């Protein structure tokens, strides 16, 4: 496909990105908004990729948190049961 055959999308404005960052920071509404951006078909590719990256980092953080809780929880539990 030649370069001039790609559908043209207008660039996202600074105000549009400010609104996206603001809304995505609101606890429950932000998650719903990011789901719409990530998996909906009407958003710009840059915002779709941004939402997918946010979810990827959230999953990485959740997995790391669970691993740390298991490791440190097991160490604390073993220390409490050792009787020292």
pLDDT given for residue 74 in this prediction: 81
pLDDT tens for each residue of the chain, 84 residues long: 555 665 666 778 999 999 999 999 999 999 999 999 999 988 899 999 999 999 999 999 999 999 999 988 888 888 787 765
- Predicted structure pTM score: 0.74
DSSP helix, strand, coil percent of the chain (3-state; round to 5): 75, 0, 25
pLDDT given for residue 75 in this prediction: 81
**CA atoms of 50 and 37, how far apart (whole Å):** 9
């Amino acid at each position: 496909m030649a370069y001039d055959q790609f559908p043209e999308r207008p660039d996202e404005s600074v105000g549009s990105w400010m609104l996206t960052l603001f809304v995505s920071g609101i606890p429950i509404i932000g998650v719903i908004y990011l789901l719409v951006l990530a998996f909906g078909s009407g958003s710009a590719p840059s915002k779709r990729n941004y939402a997918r990256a946010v979810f990827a980092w959230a999953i990485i953080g959740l997995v790391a948190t669970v691993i740390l809780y298991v490791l440190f929880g097991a160490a604390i539990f073993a220390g409490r049961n050792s009787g020292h």
